[in-house]
Structure 1
Amino acid sequence: MNGMVPPAHFPFMPPFSHDGQMQHTLSQPISSVGTGLHTGARISLRLSPAAENTGIVFHRTDCAMPPVTARYDTVVDTQLSTVLGHGPQDARIATVEHLMAALAGCGIDNVLVEVDGPEIPVFDGSAAEFVFLLECAGRRQQEARRQQIHVTRPVRVEEGDAFAELTPATQPGLGIDISIDFPAAAIGQQRYATQVDSHLFREHLSRARTFVLQPEIEHLHAIGLARGGSLDNAVVVNGESVLNPAGLRHPDEFVRHKVLDAIGDLYLAGGLIEGHFRGHKSGHTLNNRLLLKLFADKANWHVVPAGTPAGQPCTQAA
């Protein structure tokens, strides 16, 4: 399926439904091959079912790197992508955010992710092909209850005029409100606010692609990044122009992709967050700093079984 853009609907399969209560894994393994956005390498990806309470575990099959659990505290780099690892430069898995967003959006709690290279394939630059893979593999309910992370008081991080914050939920689930401001006229100022659910993710967010300003491409290549980037897997902007021949998938595709990234980055909390995320000009770095600050003080959060109203007795996670 390398290079294939899946349709917006999958009439041959029933849609996932979030029951919100029980953990889920895949019904069967599924594999694909794609290109790494930053390395340009051809990379094989395999997603396999995992036992309840395993979480999302990444494993490189091309080296001796031990498996790494997808958590905010295993993030080792956030330059243009979210990178997981154990520290050394040769023991990392990059560009996990789009797959993490798809797993969150499709309600998958436990899965083993295996790759034979240093990053996850970029496919078309969105989460749509990951959703396609997950729907083809199917979704199996498990016996353990899902745990939700309730935000109990505001937490905020800033860098210049950019910020990211989490506040207690005003309604069940995760609310996201993101605004961006780019000098390129084709992007400009955009804002997207929504209460996240699986239907909205698949239909309105999953196909939003990563993007880059054309003047930045030469610099990215000079520092060893974006070697696999092309008009097939990114939106390229130059001033007022979008250089992709087919144009945009949504008029506000840029901010929708930022929402997609935030969903993936926030799933590194180790579970579903019950709260409201607000970000302005935020990205992977601020998203990770926000989770680090959230979990630095247990007064900021608590864990309860999914479906438990806020304020009920809870269990503090370690």
Structure 2
Amino acid sequence: MFELRRLRSFLAVAEERNFTRAAERLHIAQPALSRQIRQLEQELGVRLLDRTTHAVEPTEAGRLLMERGTELCAEADRLWRDVHGFAASERSTLTLGYSTSTGYGTAPALLAALTEHHPELTVTTRLLPTAAIVAGVTDGTLDAGLVRCPPPTPELVRTLVRLEPQGVLLPAGHPLAAGESVEVTALADEPLLIHPREANPGHFDAITALYARAGLTPRLLLRQLSFDAAHTPVARGEAVSVTGASAIEGLPAGLVWRPLRPAAAIELHLLTRGRARRPAVAQLLRTASGTARAQGWLHSPA
């Protein structure tokens, strides 16, 4: 396949009917232009131009190439503009899904950092259950997802963003609320409010493993609502909840959060597709890395 550069050179000569004017139009030396035309004729195996002392005329083959070549170059120019415009759009938009549990501290901090460092980036957010985020990133409807303890998914890349310290959510008048922290073993007789395992198997297993390491098997009270900002069963004294430190933000009156002892943390990851990443996703990952360092999110709780 011949180069478009040589085709454009031929079109310039054929349109100008003159090598000198065509060379000036293309901003190249005339000998270089003549060489390109000869190379094109050699590649095609046909004479394209009839040269006389005073003029240059396309041959029959040259007129065919002139007609079809003009269309080809125009289409190539349109393709270049369209792909370039698509790339610019790809750089400037991002769709991020995040779960309710990451929406208290982690997601807002990350979005604020994106706004600060990449004001040209238009970010669309979607608050979704973990399973829907995993599915959305997998099928491409989401560019990235921020979730707790995501399941291993071959198509996706997990990037650790935060090790979030865990604690117990209690009514303010609960006896365990009097101390600065709560021993896991002290929760032996307290029902544990938790989402059903199918909602997020990784998180369910991580929380129940905290109990198992202390030799406990928790009595479970499964959440009936996917989102309950009032933490109603905890407020009523029906159960306690093990949750991340970011839950302190916007905590309803009458509830307190106490860190667990021994210290424990839950992993928060950004999920992205393993295929070639869009520029906006690369910006998100760099911003997340910088934010994690600045916030000290990757330090294990003491």
TM-score category by the smaller chain? under 0.3
TM-score (norm 1): 0.22
Which one has the bigger helix percentage? 2
Q: Which has the higher contact order (CA 8 A, sep 6+)?
A: 1
Which one has the bigger strand percentage? 1
TM-score (norm 2): 0.23
Structure possessing the higher radius of gyration over alpha carbons: 2
